[in-house]
Structure 1
Amino acid sequence: MELLVLLVVFSLVPAMTYAGVTGKIIGKVTDKETGEALPGANVVIEGSSLGAATTVQGGFIILNVPPGTMSIKASFIGYRDVVFNEVLVHPDLTTEVNFELPTEAIEVESIAITATRPLINKNTTNTTRIKTAEEIEALPVRGFRSIMSLESGVTSVGGRIYVRGGRREEIATYIDGVYQNNPTTGRASGDISNNAIQEVVFQAGGFNAEYGFANSGVVQTITKSGGAKYSLSGEVITDEFLSKSDKTLGTYSYGYNVYNLSLGGPIPSLMDGKIKFYLGAERRFLQDANPSNFAYQKLLLDENGNPLDAQGNPITTAVNDSTGKFVKWDTENAFPGKDGAYKSYQWDEQGIWPDKSSLQWLWNGNITFDFNPIVVRIGGNSQRDNQRLLAGFAPGADYQNTTDGAGVGFSLWNSVNNPKQVSWRDSYHLKVTHTLGSNTFYTAQVNYFRDKFTRSSVMFGDSFWNVGDAVDIGPLGTEGDGITNPYITQNGSKPILDQRSANLFAAFGTQPGLYWKEDWQFWGVKADLTHQAGTTHEIKAGLEYRYNTYKNYAIGGYGAADLHSLAQSLAQVGPDLTAEQAYQVRFVDNFGYDVFGNESGNLGRNDAKNPVIAAFYLQDKIELEDLVMNFGLRYDYFDPAYDGIADVEHVKYELTDQRVYDLKEENFVKNDPWTTISPRLGFSFPVTDRTVFHAQYGKFVQTPELNRLYTSTLNYAWSLQSGNFFTMRNPNLDPVRTTAYEVGFRQQLGTNSALDITAYYKEIRDHIRLVNLDFATPVPYAIYQNQDYGTVKGLALSYTLRRTSRISANLNYTLQWAAGTGSDANTFFNIAWQQGIFPTYVAPLDFDQRHVGTVNIDLRTTKDDVVPEVGLNVLFTFGSGLAFTPVRKQTEVLGGTSGYFPIGQVGSSYGPWVTQMDLKLDKTLTMAGIRFNAYVWAVNVLDFLNANWVYPGTGEPDNDGYFDTEAGQTFLRTWGENGRELYNFLLRNPNMVGPPRQIRLGLRFDM
């Protein structure tokens, strides 16, 4: 019923615009000598069809202005024209430009004035930060995420971003107005080339009613469009001038290579240049996708591949198979024998971690048809990734880029089998804008987004069943043809390396234990209507509808032996065993795909999931001389389009005709859609011409991550039947709700600087956590439920210095307390596994960072200086350590973290402070009308070792304290110093620390 109401409203709204990608220009035209208003004066944006005529009071309003830098001209009969150049317009904001026209004299040329960006924008009622293309080019960072992480209120650690104490999934990302988050995780998907960015607009809470699906922040990236003149630009960045094996300037080459090219302009033969286009592409090849300040400890080998001892002698008996490669080491020499003697390995280091590369292609483009008063824009962006994923380290913390089910041991001599992940992302839109008059316009937009990936063995890819295809480990290969798989002969059952060194490393050739593919896409319609009522009310009404399709397939436990047993099972399919059952015992989780991984649309409850997301909002922005108010209401609708479980503590299953276990139909009950109404209020009012106060209140909701809702009924039933502890998703989840408040003021200091101070508070309810069902039948298990709660309070300071004597600066600082009953949905997995007691009080969250700040200083000479057009941009970031719970020292390698024994309160300890300095030194030179910019870009130039996470037993990123325990001493007595070296190798998870010093050279051209 609620969705029907939305569709009726859709049909009643005759004209709508796509919110968040255009701005507004207001101002007044007066006589320079008398100050009298000039009614009927013409104000136009040069190179476009946008403009307005002044009212009787001399005022004008231009709506639907695309963001960017532009020239605005005012003209009136009997007066000289005045042109303001370099006027900056931002989405959702109002730019004020006032003209004073002199009377016409003998000289009739236009008067050109360079506009100055205001230090204080009285029209913003929340915290809004903007980076323009010029500012982005100067910064020593790349990507909109890195740009956003520089702002106050943001915590960034190990590539993860948290805004004002919210979880990672609470940030909405838009590119050209199209939602870019993958709802299965709630996080942003993909990237855009720096060269293609016009500006990045970041809102840290308090956003208007037109924005939803986010409880903490919104980041909007606007890409460049074609202009009245042709433009061509390109860029090359590399660190290949350095050595990959020997340090130069205190660093290595990490195989960093980025190339991009873009072209834009009019198509002159069509409509007199009213059709404009922009195309851009970027290729990134990173041999180490995420360089770490833990250098890779390389085991030295001889020419035959044998490891060397400390004296340079090979540690091997040189037993060869028919291929001529060694099969087995001399364990009497490699490890302590009966007499206790051993030989230690010989190690070296290099910067690049092997088999952790990334190859990315990015494209974006748009074409605009200006049929004034109708404008049509077709655009989009795409990305293709092929990356290798880190595997086989002590977890220590919930770090990213680690494969599920990979197991210990890939890192030393088996990194060649690090899993691969191939990803596809596509985002396209068609937008039609129609200006009905000087005060009303609408736009309707259709958009399509797709995000899919496949994670698999680098050797076998989608043919994961071939992992067990070897004659010598059973009577049949997986294909039943009796043919030996040569990969398994060398890398599986008869590995090149048999010895599991100190019981820490898997044999060479061990395959990752998970095959996983996911495909999510949506078709969406979003439309809004904007009407300027008089000079004070800007009224917007809009709606959005998205139809999603979500498919998932995962199968685990298919190492060489395991999947071979699956192969044997398949070869023995008969009345007592089916192929489906053979896959089910590997905990296959499938919907939208059958149990074998084939796309299928006839799977009943295991068909692809099609949740529906919709919203409607109404908003009024009132702009008075001394007061700006934003009032809005937002209506959100979510239909999971999947029946819920009537009683999660008493789920029943049965054995089907295919001899697989499935849930009984009696378990299911219709899952009603949820709806909610969220008010948003914002105020901004000047106390003086240099002081502006602002305040905001709002309620925000967002859908739970879809990977917490949906699972295969076969997986659910088999997990119940197996009798083991397991976790299960829950289709009954409710939305996460946040109530947010903020108040602050902006103060201009002198003529060139300003200070913004904002205090904020948030209360978060119904966050998702893992909860034990201790009395569930037939077996207890854990399920996701809406039970977490949190509060956040903080103070954000931002200082801006406009360029003065060649220097500009931005300083940001945040003081924050982020507390809650859980940091993410899986915070209490260990408690659930051990059926312990869950905390019921708020405590510092894992990403609670008390102090965080950035200092960015840009020094730039002009064309007329002795050393012309040289720039130096220095970025200094700092922050206190993250919270963690101190525990009794134990191993993080042998047996994992399931037995943590806390010795302090939850979140009562903090890691070490982190500091980093990046810089970019550039020189601009113009030749034959082409602007060249050459630069040196240094990351972590002081080479600080910064901990992203720490082991909770010690508070250190490379020591778990295990060797201080009796069990650790026993390990050392068994394996000696060689065992210590191998153990420490596994502790030095490269994601535990930040980046090392990196030096890159770049060259950019624009014409």
Structure 2
Amino acid sequence: MIRKLYASLIFLLLLTSTAFAQSQRGEIRGVVKDAKTKQTLDFVNIAVQLNGYNAGGAVSDLDGKYSISALVPGKYTVLASFVGYAKVEIRDVLVKPDQITFLDIEMDEAGVQIDEVKIKEYRNPIIRADDNGKTLDGDQIKKVPNRNTNSIANLGSGVFSLDGGTPSFRGARSSGTAYYINGVRVIGVTSLPQNGIGQTNVIIGGIPAEYGDFTGGAITITTPPPSTRFRGGVEVITSSLFDKYHFNQIETYFTGPLYIKNKGKQNERAILGYSFAGNFNYSADNSPSAIGIWKVKDAKLKELEESPLRLSPIGSGFVPSAEFITQDDLEKVSAKLNIPTYSVNLVGDINFAPNDRISIIMGGTFNHINNVGYSYRNSLFNYSNNAQTLTTSLLSYLTFTQKLVAPVDPSKKEVKKRLVDKAFYSVSLQYQSTWQTQQDAVHQDRIFDYGYVGQFKTYYRPSFEYTGTGDGPNGGGDRYIVDGDTIWMKNYFKQNGFADTLYAFDRSNTKNPIRANYTSNYYDYLDGRVQSFSQLRASQAGLVNGGNPIGIYSNMWTNVGTIISGYSKSQSEQYSLNAVGEASIKGHDLKFGIYYEQRVSRGYGVGANNLWQLMWQLSARVGNGMRLDESNPIFQYDENGVFKDTVRFNAVIDPTTQSTFDRNFRKYLIENNQVDVYGNPVNNSTLIDVNSYSPSDFRLDMFSADELLNNGNSIVTYYGYDYLGNKVRGKKSIEAFTEDPQNRTIGAFMPIYTAAFIQDKFAFKDLIFRIGLRIERFDANQPVLRDPFSLYPIRTAGEVKELNGNAVSHPGGVNEDYYVYVNNTNNPTAIVGYRNNNVWYNKDGIQIQDPVLLANATTRGTIQPYLVDADNEVVGAASFKSYEPQINVLPRIWFDFPISSEARFFANYDVIAQRPSNIFTPINDFYYLRYTPTNVLNNPDLKPQVTTDYEIGFKQKLTDNSGLSLIANYREQRNLIQAYRFNYAYPNHYISYANIDFATIKGFRIEYELRDAGNLNMDANYTLQYADGTGSGTNSQQSLISAGQPNLRNLFPLNIDIRHNVKLNLFFEYQGGKDYNGPIVKGKKIFENAGIGMILNAFSGLPYTANQNPTPNVQAGVVVRSPIKGTPFGSRLPWQLQNDMQIYKGYRVKLGKNKDGQVKYGRLMFTLWVQNFLNIQNIRAVHPYTGSAETDGYLNSAIGRQAVEAAVNAESFVDLYNTALANPGYYGLPRRIRLNIKLDF
């Protein structure tokens, strides 16, 4: 018997050895009994249908048990038939993904009517043994007054989502949340049409072994399966009748059969069907302000744009005209300006089921979003220049499912039990891709247009220096050779370069008319007398090409005409092959599988404004790629041939220092017969002013990659693309970057993630166990530094046998792999200490806390490692090694047992892991680190984050309609990622990330559910939570370590520590037809098919860190630090209440007649959807000194009064500062009212 069991298991494993994924399949299981005698009935034929399709079947065994597996989530009709008994039809049996629906069937003996069918409605039990979270089907979702997936997940206990943002599960970081659509882990947009959602399931605890790669929770969405008859609908939603936010959406859905076999016959079968849903949305402001938005009045804004500069009333120079704006020039509007969002969301699939045992599903989703982003600093003066983002996401899958064990033939009445009761496998191929482009809405990908203010022409003359006596023969000076003769010159004027005489400006072809007004204003004030590029740039008033206006009062607001974006694009792909197998063997439900996935992420960006500055820097001029040709002097003579004491020279290109850009651009100008400002043809002696040419004259391939990377001050960023923005495929070597300055190729980020799991669910007496093991392997598939504390290889103690000709004896506690530090890297004569990873030792091998002791012991006063090659400090292949794949073994244990027939106890132990974020680090980050030590780098050697979770719970049935659950949980999170300063790294300190954070979360939840109590359905829950840790997010300590302080290692409340959370979800509805039980007025059922849904979510305030002193929080250009008051995150925001409601009323309407002359009916539904119907101003943030959302206390402080006195216009400064304090980001969303009209047919 054991051999047979093993053989069956091995056979099924082989069938699924290609891959693994979340199967998203459910099961119906139960016992068939005689309704009177309660005796079990064997060989009863059980069939299930989904939307009219035959979805499977089974025959009850000798104990009356049956099981039907591999079922797509949805509402099923279960049919039971047996000779001598009336047929039973049970409708709306809910099947959830990866769960078992227990359904016992009772049958009555047949009466006089042979074809009698007893129809029953399924009631979802109040207490379910196999339930991991909260599930809502499509009908329930339509009654929820919210269409956001995150907000729907937020209905359950232990989940926290703020205004529809990514939820946190039981205190975990929101980055630990995973999304699945039809079993596919989603990397892009998760928005789906509401009519394209069949079920939403929220996995909070007791996580099955088939789920992984997250440390919080998961939201799984399944789409509705096709129907055997054509159905469809159209819906229109608008808010334009009620507000200026203009939320408008049209949505439609269709489903039906494509091919029906044996149509019209008794054994007809639909074997090919489809399901489709899609919507189009436009919103003028999809995140409106609860307090309104301030803007400059239109007439005043036009005035500012036309005359953005004025003479400074204090001192000299110019100041922005916007620094004289006062409250009288402002007005408040209800909606934000110029932030429209257009989106298209599509979902569909085709289902092919040739028989009851095989199913092939091909489907996918498509999303496109065209959004102009919101910038608060732009909102007052510069909202017309908000950046545009285009996002397109595609998800596709092809899934094959086969049941391996045929149902028992009831006519044969098999007596012997089968070894394998049921078995199936599912194999899926999946592809996802998300494309994103960020750009200026006007300039788009025309990158040289971004900075183009206008045409500037430089007029110049030679410049000279006086040369006196020299040391030549007879007191001669400089020596020249002319026609073979040697000439000594002294007391003469020698040309030393060129001097600008006029810098003319022509704005006629400007690409940025408002920015051109700055320059025009400046020229007008000076009557056009601008001498040079340097004068114009130094003015900080007029703008050169590539220049942006200075901010208003130290970047309190951006000024008119400011372009805040460059151009960037990215693509993230995911290829996955997966499968899952399941078999029931002697009471053991075995589930197993493996999974393979590779992601390909690539990105490209251009700092388009900065291109013009770089071109000017790279253009050849004397001393920069060009020199004076002193070997061919030009002596100046008068008309009589008398020397005039002046020697001139022609300018010539210096090929040893000429830039690639200058060489290519000069070549382009010569080939196209271009002339200089004096009308002379361009040649290799021409002084070229790039600002005198139009954007169409430039191409990015005129530069080398090395020039655009600019020693780490990069004009371009790229990986997976070349420096020109063309895709690069395949993995690239380190040498492709380090040894090719022209191209500096950087490959895409291509991590590989694989997983395998096995899970057994079985019963031991009254105990139900689910025991699983998941093994995950993550390979970042990229190079990492051999030593994060040095860009160059360091000698180890085992390699250092002698120093300066003397034998070396290392201290006894120093291992051979410890790194050695000396007194001078280039001339080492003594060892000063050692290091093992990030643990430091002095020269005697004694551990020390501060490596400054080693630095002070060197001849240079800085850390000095004993480098392998001190004469060649170059980042190359020797500095790197391959990422070491990380393997995590993750056990999962869950059990449940009944305390009584109306109460159950359950517990689970889960270990879950998630691949690291902030890990991809392109080679150029390290290559230029020596020159850019202040940049924050990702860490390519980060490890997965791990959570250990314990949970116990108790469920009690109170009545047939209500139940209560008590749940306690404790979770510990390790290896969380936090910003980290690599102190005393060589050659520079730098900030990156490390797996140093940890957190502990303790929680207690109470859940109450009331179902079908007349017209009322309600669930309520309360969560008590203590979430403490060393950091709330990957960058929560960056300000601290940037100031030179060490990372905090104490536990403090996390920023998602919601201490108290109370939720009430209430749904009251009157049914239609014979089920109507509401008031009747003059014979009319006035509330037929009407209802109301309401969500109330109250939670105690989030923690924040209070300050002792006021700081100018609205001035980005002013840095004032304050010591904290109390402890980090020791203060709390006020309580908040999220409240949403919708009221709906449906009508049965005639839609004509079908081909048989029968009347066709549809349903017309009107819904009034109100979010924040109480119009509460929830406080989302406060200023850390005052604890208020309205003021930061700065203006009333001594330093604030000094700032007011020093301002160009004190009244303007105060008014604009107070206006900036009215930040809508400190408040929740206002009341939003939308009208829905939907027709189903």
1:591 Cα shift?
Answer: 1.1
CA contact (8 A) 1:70 1:86 kept: yes
Q: C-alpha separation between the residues in 1 aligned to 2:328 and 2:552?
A: 11
Q: Using the TM superposition, give the Cα deviation of residue 545 of structure 1 relative to its aligned residue in structure 2, in angstroms.
A: 0.3
Q: Aligned pair in 2 of structure 1 residues 890, 451: CA closer, same or farther (>3 Å)?
A: same
Asked whether 1:200 is paired with 2:203, we answer no
**8 A Cα contact 1:16 1:529, kept in partner:** no
Distance (whole Å) between structure 1 residues aligned to residue 325 and residue 968 of structure 2: 62
Instruction: Tell me if structure 1 keeps the 8 A contact 2:320–2:552.
Output: no
Cα deviation, residue 475, structure 1: 6.0
Deviates more, 1:265-274 or 1:340-349: 340-349
Answer yes or no: is 1:941 the counterpart of 2:941. Answer: no
The match for 2:360 among 369, 376, 390 is 376
- Aligned equivalent of 2:916, options 693, 704, 725: 704
What is aligned with 2:1125? 903
Mark the CA change 1:287 to 1:571 in structure 2 (over 3 Å): closer, same or farther. farther
Provide Cα deviations, 1:265-312, integer angstroms capped at 9, x if missing partner: 11135675210100111111111121121311132233x8546xxxxx
Q: In structure 1, the residue corresponding to 2:978 is in which secondary structure?
A: strand
Q: CA deviation at 1:932?
A: 1.1
Q: Which of the residues 70, 78, 89 maps onto 1:64?
A: 70
For residue 153 of structure 1, report the CA deviation from its aligned partner.
Answer: 0.7
Of 112, 135, 142, which aligns to 2:119? 112
Alpha-carbon distance change, 530 to 160 in structure 1, aligned in 2, over 3 angstroms: closer
Q: Deviations over 1:558-610 (max 9, x none)?
A: 54xx3321232455587343433432134243211223333234853411121
2:1200 is matched with which residue?
Answer: 968
TM-score normalised by structure 1 residue count:
0.88
Question: Is the 2:791–2:926 Cα contact (8 Å) retained in structure 1?
Answer: no
Judged with a 3 Å threshold, the aligned counterparts in structure 2 of structure 1 residues 936 and 577 are, in CA distance, closer, same or farther, namely: same
Taking the aligned partners of 1:808 and 1:262, their CA distance within structure 2 comes to 28
Change in Cα spacing, 1:495 to 1:178, as seen in structure 2 (3 Å) is: farther
Q: Does 1:29 align with 2:35?
A: no
Given that residues 205 and 215 in structure 1 are in contact (C-alpha distance below 8 angstroms), is that contact kept between their aligned partners in structure 2? no
Q: Distance between the aligned counterparts of 2:903 and 2:1237, measured in 1?
A: 42
Give the residue type in structure 1 aligned to 2:1024.
L
Contact kept, 8 Å, 2:88 with 2:117, in 1: the verdict is: yes
Q: CA deviation at 1:628?
A: 1.5
CA contact (8 A) 2:231 2:255 kept: yes
Deviation by residue 1:151-171 (Cα, 9 ceiling, x = unmatched): 111122242421111111111
Match of 2:616 in 1: 568
Structure 1 residues 898 and 76: CA distance shift in structure 2, 3 A: farther
Q: Which residue of 1 aligns with 2:951?
A: 742
Say whether residues 1:416 and 2:384 are aligned partners. yes
**Residue 733 of structure 2 aligns with which residue?**
604
For 1:725, the equivalent position in structure 2 comes to 934
Corresponding position of 1:53 = 59
- Residue 643 of structure 2: aligned partner: none
Alignment of 1:352 onto 2:355: no
Distance in 1 between the 2:399 and 2:883 partners?
34
Deviation at 1:263, TM superposition (A): 0.3
Question: What is the CA distance between 1:135 and its match in structure 2?
Answer: 1.2
State the 1:336 CA deviation.
Answer: 12
Q: Which of 442, 461, 465 is the equivalent residue of 2:448?
A: 465
C-alpha separation in 1, matches of 2:792 and 2:512:
41
Choose the corresponding residue for 2:583, options 520, 531, 534. 531
Is this contact kept in 1: 2:925–2:937, CA < 8 A? Answer: no
Aligned residue number for residue 190 of structure 1: 190
1:406: which partner in 2?
A: none
Alpha-carbon deviation of 1:261? 0.5
Q: Name the CA distance, whole Å, in 1 between partners of 2:206 and 2:327.
A: 59
1:299 aligns with 2:347: no
Q: Which amino acid aligns with 2:363?
A: G
- Select the residue among 77, 81, 89 that pairs with 1:83: 89
Which of these residues, 1015, 1030, 1036, is aligned with residue 821 of structure 1? 1030
The alignment yields a C-alpha RMSD, in angstroms, of: 2.8
Letter in 2 for 1:893: V
Match of 2:251 in 1: 260
1:533/1:539 contact within 8 Å kept: yes
Per the normalisation by structure 2, the TM-score is: 0.72
The 2-side partners of 1:336 and 1:471 are apart by 21
Aligned partners of 2:574 and 2:61: how far apart in 1? Answer: 45
C-alpha displacement of 1:369:
0.5
**Corresponding residue for 1:658?**
none
Is residue 679 of structure 2 the alignment partner of residue 679 of structure 1? no
Give 1:140's aligned residue.
Answer: 145
One-letter code aligned to 2:155: L
1:792-836 per-residue CA deviation (whole Å, 9 max, x = no partner) reads: 111122211102121111112211111111111111111121111
Structure 2 counterparts to residues 157-172 of structure 1, below 5 A: 157-158=162-163, 159-172=165-178
Q: Cα 1:495–1:943, aligned 2, differ >3 Å: closer, same or farther?
A: farther
2: CA distance, partners of 1:689 / 1:218: 31
8 Å Cα contact 1:143/1:194 also seen in 2: no
Aligned-pair identity in percent equals 25
Deviation at 1:719, TM superposition (A): 3.7
Structure 2 CA distance for aligned equivalents of residues 632 and 622 of structure 1: 11
Q: Which has the larger radius of gyration?
A: 2
Partner of 2:46, secondary structure, is strand
On the 8 A contact 1:41/1:75 being kept in 2, the answer is: yes
Question: What secondary structure does 2:1041 align onto?
Answer: helix
Distance 1:716 1:344, change over 3 A: same
Shift of 1:134: 1.3
* Cα 1:492–1:943 shift into 2, 3 Å: farther
Aligned to 2:181: 175
Q: Distance in 2 between matches of 1:266 and 1:625?
A: 46
Residue 510 (structure 1) shift = 1.1
**Residue identity in the other structure for 1:257:** N
Pick closer, same or farther for the CA change 1:14–1:737 going to 2, 3 Å.
closer
* C-alpha distance after superposition, 1:933-982 (max 9, x if no partner): 10111111111111222222222233222123212122333343432221
Larger RCO, structure (CA 8 Å, separation 6 or more)? 1
For the residue of structure 1 that corresponds to 2:613, the secondary structure is helix
Q: Which runs of 5+ in 2 are unaligned?
A: 1-9, 263-268, 408-421, 460-504, 522-548, 626-654, 661-702, 735-745, 794-872, 1081-1085, 1151-1160
Amino acid at match of 1:154: V
| Aligned-pair CA distance for 1:8 | 14
The answer for the alignment partner of 1:397 in structure 2 is none
Contact in 1 for aligned 2:326/2:1216 (Cα 8 Å): no
| Distance apart, 1:217 and its partner CA | 0.3
Preserved CA contact (<8 Å) 2:19 2:595: no
Structure 1 residues 87-98: aligned runs within 5 Å: 87-98=93-104
Q: Which of 987, 990, 993 is residue 778 of structure 1 equivalent to? A: 987
Q: 1:361 to 1:822 in 2, by over 3 A?
A: same
Which of residues 359, 363, 374 is equivalent to 1:390?
374
Letter in 2 for 1:564: W
Residues 726-735 or 709-718, more deviating: 709-718
Q: 2:1183 aligns with which of 938, 951, 954?
A: 951
What is the match of residue 401 of structure 2? Answer: 433
Distance 1:970 1:786 in 2: 44
1:812 equivalent in alignment to 2:1034: no
User: What corresponds to 2:665 in structure 1?
Assistant: none
From the superposition, tell whether residues 715 and 576 of structure 1 become closer, same or farther in structure 2 (CA, over 3 Å): farther
* Partner of residue 870, structure 2: none
Specify the alignment match of 2:784 in structure 1. 644
Q: Summarize the Cα distance change of 1:537–1:897 in structure 2 as closer, same or farther, 3 Å threshold.
A: farther
Distance 1:495 1:453, change over 3 A: farther
- Asked whether the equivalents of residues 16 and 443 of structure 1 are also in contact (C-alpha less than 8 Å), the reply is no
Partner SS state of residue 222, structure 2: strand
1:212 corresponds to 2:217: no
Contact 1:495 1:507 in 2 (8 A): no
Match of 1:755 in 2: 964
Match of 1:149 in 2: 154
Q: Where does residue 1071 of structure 2 map in the other structure?
A: 862
Structure 1 partner of 2:659: 577
Kept in 1, the 8 Å contact 2:260–2:272? The answer is no
Distance 1:801 1:549 in 2: 47
Q: Is the 8 A contact 2:285 2:340 kept in 1?
A: yes
Contact 1:360 1:384 in 2 (8 A): yes
Contact 2:294 2:379 (C-alpha < 8 Å) held by counterparts: no
Give 1:139's aligned amino acid: V
